[in-house]
Chain A
């Protein structure tokens, strides 16, 4: 630990922390643009200048006055005993001295020289570092009389637009493409005040390579100004009109921490949230843009039953009564209950309890989205398993007996009379073999969020909820149990999955009385081995790692 004098504070920081981070830890803002904790530090924006108490020039160099240092590259370390300052400090640094304040004003003035005043139509307004820092540290008027540079607007790739006029050339996006995605699509063209970010182009301006890697969306997040803009979010909402909730991405088994930004009428965007061991600062575009089904107009809003081969919407009482009648008559050996790797641990735990205690069946299976492709980047991995909770669901469903998966599951289903299938995987297509087996089932109950090939085979369809509409926990492939939180309301009469199951259980005479997901997680922590710590109270924002 290094003992630092930071302005008038005396603080201890870990060796190797830079001044920006040390100040942030103690509630002091050091404005910066080019510095990003997940990227290298070129110190080119010069915004984070701080005044070190002493500057150690190489012996003999003529440095008559103290040079301001960039906070991002000034790393704090424990000094040897004979180098302590004032006898005790390892370093003394001022982030609010008159010279620092003057330097910030000057740098902001330069940044604004060519920056257009189009905040009223800029997507970034409200979450723009340039806007915020100018407001807090900058001049109130411009002394620039000359003509501003107007570089062109560019279409960089499937989801990214570049408004070059707004760009402050911090090169965060370039470094991201070099260091994290390793795909090197972006670079600088021209020189000096004509610097522009661009993709490789031929001489006549045709793109040779697009910014279309699976992590491209992150450059929009890390852009400190409104230069890089997501086409998906373009002109959709002002940031301050959206509510935010911390959640976990349901796109694959990595379990990236995200912030869901939403309004009453739906989810507007997903943004990655820092988690040191899972996703650092990033998320993939599959996850980022994969929320569309939540807002879909096709969502299942009412229970449906099959009458003369046609689906008819019905009401919950009718649908549940029909199911109860079938289940109460059925032979327990001929009932298969299939949980979903898309569902939360709570959903699957309640389903397991329902199967064992009420239906008395041992045949529990696991269903989920079809596997995709694995993508590996220098600092990021997208996993092939496209379900957020495979590990958790498997654990919740297997209470004594192993969970049926793959061929074993379909074999068991082919022998069954009644199958209760919780899907939740949006628009899941079925392979021929799976389809044949499910068609042969006498009475198929499907609980899902969107019409799909699975619901098309059902006798009764129950409308469930997506990750954005319920509370719960997901367990990722590395054993991290993390919270998802309810944001928007479920469409129509769709209900939270475990509530549907609990209702069925009660109608069949079971005793189940959960009021909210946290209560189920307490039951899980008591009854499922390894999950003792994984209650909602303990999990917090960053999750709990299960013991190996």
Chain B
């Protein structure tokens, strides 16, 4: 039986921890003081690199590597803390901001010290009113106690933090969209390259980090790299010989919601499986798991056949899904996948920023197709076609059988793939919003195709049993190359 073990966020539930005094009583700012006293800035950057810390915001990009791209000779350089947490199913940043904002400030201070940054912007989601209130109060207290401002605690370090509330756009959580919005423009992502590390806020080098990533820094510095890397698996990247270490170290705040008995935020080491996580969250509410969304609504769905997938960056990427922001949504046998997809597609069609063509006009189109299917107006052709699958010779090909043609399902897959191709992982859009749309659309449709077909046939939303609704892995070409990573010895 796996249980939640708070390591990094041990003091998160201490009453009044959001006040400076209580935070100090629980060793607050000790790690920052240690960092300044014991290490040079470059040492800290090296520690972060060695710790294998991956960004917790969604893309899972190595934090140390990101810092190494920042040019050292261009000043000023900015830190942007991304607290615009708007992925459906994710609520960990909100939890941290409301409970323990000083931890974030400590993380920011360490990052600023390591990178020689003097100005930090915290782009906080506009709906987080309590979070912003607590953070603003914490920043005020930190200024009052000399942990922010000029010459912090006599170290000669200057750091200012400004909070900026978002105005409610999902796309402003994308790092360049966030930067544009912060600069006062329309929240529309920029073309990359140049990446923000080279040209970000006000065209200056900028480190953009998620709240959770920054909250990891005090513990890496305080407890050392070795302590940190013991948590979570380190895989071997088989594309290299000998396999290159692919660390998935540390803990993650998993936000679990949906059909579980105790939904909420759980801190767990990376690398536990889906089934274990459901157990931690009080077990399933209902009879049977039908599907699990592993990383916020934009992640491809996992079926009940895939509950052994480990929830870390590498395993989920190789399972053709992603950990994303760690927002896990569990669905039991009563849920209709078509309805779920419609819900998600309504969200994305509404949130598309409208900057680039495929996303602007593709996302509402996808929504409309799903709406049509859900309304019972999906089109099915009167003719059939040869069925492709695992042929007699054991390879992919013509099976000799025929299958019905569901025109709207083909159209849905084609339109979604034209926004961003799920199979080749290439997108025609400016930012990854495109793939965040087509990933759920295509994966839901491929993995739960019988339910979509039944809905079209019956002319109304039809929920099948779990076994009937799910395409078995051996019949689904989306699984054909599913790889389970192996841990390094």
Contacts and interface: CB of A to CB of B under 8 A. Distances in A.
Interface of A: 41-47, 49, 58-68, 70, 73, 103, 106-107, 109-111, 113-114, 143-146, 168-169, 188, 190-195
Contact of B191 (A43, A68, A190): A43
B350 interface: yes
A110 B363 CA distance: 10
Contacts of A190: 354
Interface of B: 61-62, 65, 69, 169, 186, 191, 195, 317, 349-358, 360-365, 368, 372, 411, 414-415, 418, 424-430
Nearest to B429: A46
Given A65-B424, A169-B354, 12 more contacts: A43-B191, A62-B317, A64-B424, A65-B425, A113-B365, A144-B365, A145-B372, A146-B368, A169-B360, A188-B186, A191-B169, A193-B354
Contact of B363 (A45, A46, A143, A193): A193
A208 B298 CA distance: 40
B426 A73 contact: no
Contacts of A63: 425
B426 A191 contact: no
Contacts of B191: 41-43, 70, 73
Contacts of B350: 192
Contacts of A114: 361
B61 A191 contact: no
Contacts of B425: 63-65
Given A61-B61, A66-B426, A192 B351 contact: yes
A192 B427 CA distance: 18
Contacts of B414: 143
Contact of B353 (A47, A60, A107, A192): A192
A107 B424 contact: no
Contacts of B411: 143
A522 B306 CA distance: 86
A65 B351 contact: no
Contacts of A192: 349-354, 360, 363-364
Task: Tell me the dominant secondary structure on chain A's binding face.
Answer: loop
Counting chain B CB atoms within 10 Å of each CB, which of A60, A103, A114, A193 scores highest? Answer: A193
A111 B354 contact: no
A193 B169 CA distance: 15
A55 to B, nearest CB: 10
The 8 closest A-B CB pairs, nearest first, are A106-B418, A65-B424, A192-B352, A195-B354, A192-B354, A146-B368, A193-B364, A110-B361
A145 B369 CA distance: 9
A153 B399 CA distance: 54
Contact of A109 (B61, B354, B418): B418
A73 B424 CA distance: 22
B249 to A, nearest CB: 15
A110 B317 contact: no
A521 to B, nearest CB: 49
Contacts, number: 100
A155 B360 CA distance: 25
A42 B355 contact: yes
A68 B365 CA distance: 23
Contacts of B430: 43-44, 46
16 contacts: A43-B356, A45-B356, A46-B428, A59-B65, A60-B65, A64-B425, A107-B358, A110-B357, A110-B362, A144-B365, A146-B365, A146-B368, A188-B354, A192-B354, A193-B361, A195-B354
A168 B355 CA distance: 10
Given A62-B317, A68-B426, A192-B350, A110 B61 contact: no
A45 B195 contact: no
Given A73-B191, A110-B361, A113-B361, A191 B424 contact: no
B193 to A, nearest CB: 8
A191 B361 contact: no
Nearest to B61: A61
Contacts of B361: 110-111, 113-114, 193
B357 A107 contact: yes
A107 B428 contact: yes
A442 B355 CA distance: 70
A124 to B, nearest CB: 18
A44 B61 contact: no
A429 B325 CA distance: 73
Contact of B358 (A43, A62, A106, A143): A106
Nearest to B65: A60
Contacts of A70: 191
A110 B358 contact: yes
A448 B353 CA distance: 57
Contact of A195 (B358, B360, B372): B360
Contacts of A46: 356-358, 428-430
Contacts of B186: 188
Contacts of B65: 58-60
A79 to B, nearest CB: 16
Nearest to B169: A191
A359 to B, nearest CB: 66
A60 B244 CA distance: 11
A43 B62 CA distance: 28
B450 to A, nearest CB: 24
Contacts of A188: 186, 354
Nearest to B371: A146
A60 B360 CA distance: 30
Counting chain A CB atoms within 10 Å of each CB, which of B62, B365, B372, B428 scores highest? Answer: B428
Contacts of B360: 110, 169, 192-193, 195
Contacts of A45: 356-357
A481 to B, nearest CB: 42
Nearest to A49: B428
B200 to A, nearest CB: 14
Contact of A44 (B357, B362, B426): B357
A114 to B, nearest CB: 6
Contact of A191 (B69, B352, B357, B362): B352
A62 B424 CA distance: 12
Contacts of A103: 428
B357 A111 contact: yes
A383 B414 CA distance: 55
A61 B313 CA distance: 13
A111 B361 CA distance: 7
Nearest to B352: A192
A44 B425 CA distance: 20
Contacts of A61: 61
Nearest to B364: A193
Contacts of A168: 357
Counting chain B CB atoms within 10 Å of each CB, which of A58, A61, A103 scores highest? Answer: A58
A394 to B, nearest CB: 47
B422 to A, nearest CB: 11
A85 B354 CA distance: 37
A20 to B, nearest CB: 15
A236 B59 CA distance: 54
A110 B356 CA distance: 10
A63 B421 CA distance: 13
A47 B428 CA distance: 9
Nearest to A66: B426
A191 B353 contact: yes
Contacts of A144: 365
B4 to A, nearest CB: 30
B317 A193 contact: no
Contacts of A64: 424-425
B365 A106 contact: no
Contacts of A65: 424-426
B352 A193 contact: yes
